Amino acid sequence: MGAAIKTGYRRAYEDGIDVVAVMAGDGQMDPDLLDRLLDPIVKRGADYAKGNRLLHPEFRAAMPPFRLFGNWMLSLLTKIASGYWNTGDPQNGYTAISYRALDRLDVEGLYDDYGFANELLVRLNQQGMQVADVAMPAVYGDEQSTISYRTFVPTVSLLLLRSFVSRLWTQFGEFGDRATVLGYALGTLGLLAAIPVGLLAALHAGRAFGVGLAAALAAVGCLSFGLAALLDRAKHERLEMQVDGGFESEG
């Protein structure tokens, strides 16, 4: 998947194409909706536009429950990794990207498989690119997914973790965003430290103290991570735009 899109992006960039759209051949993408992906880039200056089937109950009604649950989970993980907290349905392959974005992204360095779209969002954020989230209905027929979830889930989770760390490194080094990065770091350390402390408390004497310490570490971790997420969201809202029905609203 990702390798094929990269090939198309490379050719379009070489030809100087202003806006490049991706429409898979699985029948899930309505050609009549293409203008809704192009308009945010052509008329509003967005750098990347993508479909979102999760914005309205009636739009996601056709999505099978298992896929819907998986999409919600991937959406949450990708929000954290990418910093686009108002953007969902990262696996939606109906997209459009500007020449400017292709010019600034290291397209060849992106992941070659199904995690391509997730990593792309992280790289767009690192370049300060604006993303448009376009509401559209889910369309499913009798097609069968070729994704092997046994390998897809751990692979994409690790990819998102690496991408998250890379993004925070960029924010810390290039933009001096110490508060958000340190908040995430403190939150992660607190949550990770709570696990062994709690296990030791369950196995040894001094259980009450150990359980209390584990709970305190977990609470500090959750609080720090939550505050960092709020700072992160506020910092990047300007990079997000929602296209919902007949109107647009910018974050």
* Residues 61 and 97 placed together within one structural domain of the fold: yes
Per-residue pLDDT for 249 more than 50? no
Residue 87 sits in which domain range? 2-147+238-250
* Residues 62 and 121 placed together within one structural domain of the fold: yes
Strand locations in 23-165 (E): 48-52, 95-98, 131-135
- Pairing between β-strand 131-135 and β-strand 95-98 as defined by DSSP bridges: unpaired
- pLDDT tens, residue by residue, 41-89: 999 999 999 999 988 888 777 777 877 888 899 999 999 999 999 999 9
Half-sphere exposure of 132 (CA within 13 A, CB side): 28
* Residues 221 and 133 placed together within one structural domain of the fold: no
156 domain residue, yes or no:
no
- Which pLDDT belongs to residue 34? 93
* Residues 129 and 242 placed together within one structural domain of the fold: yes
Per-residue pLDDT for 9 more than 70? yes
What is the rounded CA–CA span in Å between residue 45 and residue 128? Answer: 13
Using pLDDT thresholds of 50, 70 and 90, give the confidence band for residue 203: confident
Residues 105/109/112/118 CA torsion (nearest 10 deg): -50
- pLDDT tens, residue by residue, 124-182: 999 999 999 999 887 765 556 666 667 777 889 999 999 999 999 999 988 889 999 99
What is the rounded CA–CA span in Å between residue 250 and residue 237? Answer: 8
What is the rounded CA–CA span in Å between residue 214 and residue 194? Answer: 4
Residue count of the chain, please give it.
251
**Pairwise pLDDT comparison (228 vs 208), residue with the higher score:** 228
Give how many domains the chain has, as a whole number. Answer: 2
- Pairing between β-strand 48-52 and β-strand 131-135 as defined by DSSP bridges: parallel
* Residues 46 and 84 placed together within one structural domain of the fold: yes
